[in-house]
Structure 1
Amino acid sequence: MAKYLLLKHYRGAPSAVNNIPMDRWTPEEITAHMKYMNDFAARLEKTGEFVDAQALAPEGTFVQYDGEGRPPVTDGPFAETKDLIAGWMVIDVDSYERAVELAGELSAAPGAGGKPIHEWLELRPFLTAMPTITE
């Protein structure tokens, strides 16, 4: 088994399919989207492939140590781009191919009009421990 992080990118622009930004969805469309996400997670819990998931607030801050003890704070989470990490899910699957399959399925969550939003998902494997060399 290998763990993967699925980062859910909300691009802030209309989706490629329905041209309606998420902030203009109806309450029913938001409910349908959330139900899809919850049902997806529940199905993966049953197969043992679900580890955790969280949605993130749109607000954020960048902090970086400045070498003098005062961490500068910058508006974020992505001041120079329209991308926003809307949330994440961790899965534990048998193969990279299975991770790609699940990411594609999650990307098809419904949006406005019930059409798949084709959400951008970043698939990142967890770094595993480097092998120890003994001589």
Structure 2
Amino acid sequence: MSKYMLIMRGTDESNAAMMANIEELMTTTGQFIEDLVKAGVYVGAEGLDDARKGVVVDFGGEVPVVTDGPYGETKELFGGFFLVDVSSKEEAVEWAKRVPVARGAKIEVRRVPGEDEVPEIGA
């Protein structure tokens, strides 16, 4: 089994569409999580607060610069994630296809390396 993060990436338009139907979204998301639990692959899930309430710490110069979010020419922002423990990337992708999101949103599927895969410092 391997852990995969299903990262929700939304645009201003898809986020607005989801907020317009927030009650329906919460219901379908609850059902999706229930399906993950029943399948025995659910590890966790969290949503993120509005990017305008966050900050960005930019290490592009000699001194880190902090700016209020959202930042730059961002076309997509992370909105939250589901963490699943599945047998393959293909299975993670099949779950990603079922995530309840609005048209225009994307789900990025990324494997979470195990502790034994992290390089040792000083090795």
Please provide the CA RMSD for this pair: 2.6
C-alpha displacement of 1:95: 1.0
The reply on whether 1:39 has 2:25 as its aligned counterpart is no
User: Residue 56 of structure 2 corresponds to which residue in structure 1?
Assistant: 62
Q: Does the Cα contact within 8 Å between 1:32 and 1:110 map onto a contact in 2?
A: no
SS at match of 1:13: helix
Structure 1 partner of 2:77: 84
**2: CA distance between counterparts of 1:131 and 1:54?**
24
Indicate the percent of aligned positions where both proteins have the same amino acid.
Answer: 31
What is the Cα deviation at residue 53 of structure 1?
0.6
The CA deviation string for residues 50-109 of structure 1, in whole angstroms up to 9 with x for no partner, is 1111111112211245656xx421222443213121111111111111100000111xx2
Unaligned stretches of 5+ residues in structure 1: 16-20, 112-116
1:53 paired residue number: 45
Distance in structure 2 (CA, Å) of the matches to 1:118 and 1:102: 18
- TM-score between the two structures when normalised by the length of structure 1: 0.71
Distance 1:24 1:130, change over 3 A: closer
State the TM-score, normalizing by the size of structure 2: 0.77
- Structure 1 segments (4+ residues) deviating >6 Å: none
How far off is 1:127 after superposition?
2.0
Q: How does 1:1-135 map to 2 (within 5 A)?
A: 1-14=1-14, 21-22=16-17, 25=20, 29-58=21-50, 59-64=53-58, 71-106=64-99, 109=100, 111=102, 117=103, 119-128=105-114, 129-130=116-117
Q: 3-state SS of the aligned residue for 2:92?
A: helix
Tell me, which stretches of 5 or more residues in structure 2 are unaligned? none
Give, in whole Å, the separation in 2 of the partners of 1:48 and 1:38.
15
Q: Is the 8 A contact 2:10 2:104 kept in 1?
A: no
Q: 1:78 to 1:90 in 2, by over 3 A?
A: farther
Measured at CA, do residues 110 and 7 of structure 1 come closer, stay the same or move farther in structure 2, by a change above 3 Å? closer
- What amino acid does structure 1 have at the position aligned with 2:105? E
- Bigger Rg, structure 1 or 2: 1
